[in-house]
A and B are shown apart, each in its own frame.
Chain A
């Protein structure tokens, strides 16, 4: 009896302590793990959003870049961190949707090991080819790829990268098996694309936009519901005749699982405020980012979305003939 009481007392004390902690949160700087190298699209979005979230929370959000293994190294570390709200992370389409299919030894479950905070921003995916590719629109492009099959050279930025996964989906969808040329990163891909050494690529708009504006690379379609203001001449996949190709490289904030709901709410509130801030919003839109609207901004929506995305990507990546690392 005594022991039960003591246990209840301890539990109660712990609860009130936790409650007080959540109420005062945050009392010190918050670390946001970005699972990619500094300077990449996810890093840029994290820094822009993080800067504004710091203002709302009254504490600095420090970006810690922990790159490696397609982003799974950083997310593994984040998943194992204390669930006190002081370590959060910028998850990504790769780490929270594609990773289970690509890394059988993955040490976290995207759907179960996190407390979702909210969607931050996605970047639109473009289908683009070298500027002298003999096809005037997406329909001709697809028709030509179908006749060429493995004669066509698709470039991607490495197994597990956004350009790899999104182009796997494109290839599976139109039913071709091109020759896939692996690079390490987007820079060399763009270089060889301008030099005419490879035929096509699927990648985030921010990596290609200036080359397309400059006429060095030709874009056939953008995989968003609406056209991008940065590239108003590029049709959406819906307009160009491949309506099912809807994909974005999304970035969302997660905390380790069992983070107190009050802290999750505070972080979600700061995130939503950042997305509504005119200056922050403009910076994100200038990058070609797609921002979540209404219901898409809640924590619950993100939780459901991760489950859907894992279910959507796993069969595609398996069909794409990825040799999974054992």
Chain B
């Protein structure tokens, strides 16, 4: 305990130096802006800003880059709520109820709950990293290919529950998502699959391309098709901050979301993606009246938003304690550390404790700053909804295009996004939901990789998925989730609930 306090003290002394506070603030501010601009993601931003960090010491540089990362998570929720565009896989769920709240004139409340929930989750996650980061690393190592595959199966089961309307349609859409995830170069043989012979398809479809198309572009087509709905949103603004009742409704979802998101974030295979989906599924299952979900239920924003931020923080555990990056942003952080002469690994903690603990302490400082930056901004964001749509949509379109181009510096990605925009519009017209498709797509890639690795290692024996207790447990949960989803009574409730 004494060591723990001493470590935190060292951390805060480092994080609270004038230079590091300034860098942390700069990172959070840039991150928030980047997160809000649809399409421009933290990866492109960090890559662009890397050269600027050459001038400062490694601790300061990493504090700023980490600020950009979790700042972008905050900002991404704003776009998801206001204009129904998820910037990242983790904010897909926020669009479901968050945007509905905005349509009902409760955008301010949704944003406020998201910010408060995220702050709470961030605080808890920071403490978890500081206290348990090292022992938790062992948990990550238990997860081999078989365990990950079962985890992903469980995630797919969530996708079924997420869907509004027909289960058949939801299932079909998930499979389209899985199918799209198989486009690209075969993992084992290097053969091209479903690329139509196009070089630009060799690496498959980028998440940002699919998400911006299905949500961003398609949403614009939808709104232009039907201008009245847009005016309704503009007419009602409502209160800016959550009421006492709102806060009361959110406490438990925030706690549960923080736990789920934090736990899944520790897994090095980008488990953080599952956090918000898991939280949403849980909230909907235990709600007294699950019919409200998808129509602006505040728990559907509070839980997933907390899960998303907790996961974003705990995702640093495998990076800081093992040196293993769990996702693309963390891989970039590895690069940033190596450029500064620090090769991430188990020694970082002992060799450069001020960097390790300074970064952890700065995360809490950063979360506080984000709250301070974001709460006053809510008024401004909500006013954005009053901007006439004829001015708003070209701007959204432009930023989406810039953002997508910035992912790989590749113009064909922008064209593909346009294609998925039309596809998303068709989905909407035929009553299919894009959210389960995105989850299927995100999980599909990992699922295939892990399935093949597990089967190669077991020499083709499927028993490998049930002989591991962790894997077997996850599969049982997946089966339970699906069974509950298709029990007729529950299903009846669902269908009533999810008619738009």
Interface residue ranges, A against B (CB under 8 Å): 37-41, 43-44, 47-48, 51, 63-69, 73, 76, 102, 105, 107, 153, 158-160, 179-185, 187-188, 190-192, 194-195, 197-198, 206, 209-211, 213-214, 216, 283, 286-287, 322-326
Contact = CB atoms under 8 A, between A and B. Distances in A.
Contacts of A179: 456-457, 459
A323 B51 contact: no
A187 B144 contact: no
A287 B338 contact: yes
Contact of B410 (A66, A102, A197, A323): A66
B322 A191 contact: yes
A210 B331 contact: no
Given A66-B410, A68-B203, A209-B345, A188 B268 contact: yes
Contacts of B145: 192, 197
Contacts of B333: 39
Contact of B453 (A181, A211, A214): A181
Contacts of A216: 346
Contacts of A40: 331, 335
B338 A206 contact: yes
Most buried by A among B142, B190, B192, B331: B190
Given A69-B199, A159-B188, A192-B144, A44 B456 contact: no
Given A51-B54, A210-B344, A194 B457 contact: no
B187 A48 contact: no
A100 to B, nearest CB: 14
A64 B449 contact: no
Interface in B39-53: 43, 46-47, 50-51
Interface in B242-261: none
B339 interface: yes
B338 A211 contact: no
7 contacts: A37-B332, A38-B332, A47-B50, A66-B410, A76-B199, A213-B345, A325-B189
B379 interface: no
Nearest to A150: B459
B339 A47 contact: yes
B187 A184 contact: yes
B449 A184 contact: yes
Nearest to B332: A39
A40 B330 CA distance: 11
A154 to B, nearest CB: 11
A210 B335 contact: no
A125 to B, nearest CB: 16
B335 A44 contact: yes
B56 interface: no
Contacts of A183: 449, 453
B324 interface: yes
B345 A210 contact: yes
Contacts of A41: 338
Given A37-B328, A73-B199, 12 more contacts: A37-B332, A38-B43, A44-B339, A47-B50, A63-B51, A67-B203, A185-B331, A190-B322, A194-B322, A209-B343, A211-B323, A287-B338
A232 to B, nearest CB: 16
Given A181-B457, A287-B338, A287-B343, A159 B189 contact: yes
B341 interface: yes
A48 B340 CA distance: 10
B493 to A, nearest CB: 40
Interface string B180-204: 0000011111111000000110110
B436 interface: no
A187 B268 contact: yes
A214 B333 CA distance: 20
Contacts of B452: 182
A187 B141 contact: no
A182 B455 CA distance: 12
Nearest to A38: B47
Contacts of A43: 335
A11 B102 CA distance: 65
A44 B335 CA distance: 6
A203 B339 CA distance: 19
A107 B408 CA distance: 19
A73 B206 CA distance: 15
B347 interface: yes
A206 B343 CA distance: 7
B52 to A, nearest CB: 11
Interface string B41-73: 001001100110010000000000000000000
B141 A191 contact: yes
A191 B324 contact: yes
A80 B452 CA distance: 37
Contact of B190 (A39, A160, A214, A283): A160
A184 B322 CA distance: 18
A234 to B, nearest CB: 15
B218 interface: no
B229 interface: no
Given A66-B410, A69-B202, A187 B456 contact: no
Contact of A323 (B189, B322, B343, B346): B189
B324 to A, nearest CB: 5
Contacts of B190: 102, 159-160, 322-325
A184 B449 CA distance: 8
